[in-house]
Structure 1
Amino acid sequence: MIRKTTNAPSRVATRGRKPLSEAQARKGTAPKNAKALPPRSKNTVVMELLGQPGGVSIDELMAATGWQSHSVRAALTTLRHKRHAIVRTMRDGISRYAITPAVLAVSETTTGTTIGTGSVL
């Protein structure tokens, strides 16, 4: 049997990753197609927007996530079921939603009071 040989250098196992070129190894940089961080989930985006001062409207959440209004409301309900305190306020006839600190939410749910013009969902 004739065996084929190549002059190519052997590659060390890299667990599915492409080995760095010599220039990249010297510079200590990763390949251009390497991902730094995994993409953020849409639920993370919703949480970040709800944490903004002044809260966020349903329309803004729809634009940020690409969801329809009923899906945004379902996400808000899911957060509430996970014990996040979601507060709804009205500004210029538009409902705005925000996450409040846990201590404040506990006092609201036990006393039944509201914060300013908002109410606990």
Structure 2
Amino acid sequence: MSTDRPRAAWAPAACALPTAQRPLREAEFDRLFTTGDVRRPDPTHLRVTLDPTPEVAARAAALAVRETGCCSFFTFAVVASAGQVRLDVTVTGEHVDVLDALQERAGERA
């Protein structure tokens, strides 16, 4: 990541997670996004390939449930197929900037 521009904020005003808990949630995403490929099939859809283990799939699903509890504009799908696990994240058009920031964060970790 370039140091001459600030990291994009991906917790918009619509996020109901208390501000003090946001760094902890970001750290959870960082731990999830340690391997794999990051793709953007379209502006409202992010696809991240994860470690193909049951533990990672379970962590991704648990994190997705908690994240939709505070940021209902996210839709998550954990997909296990052909020995791979991926996380598909979609948002509505007005939250593409949040997905941009999540993609940046995932790209830094993978």
TM over 0.5: no
The two structures have a TM-score, normalised by structure 2, of 0.33
The two structures have a TM-score, normalised by structure 1, of 0.31
The structure that is helix-richer by fraction is 2
The structure that is strand-richer by fraction is 2
Find the structure with the greater CA-based Rg.
1
Higher RCO (CA < 8 A, seq sep 6+)? 2
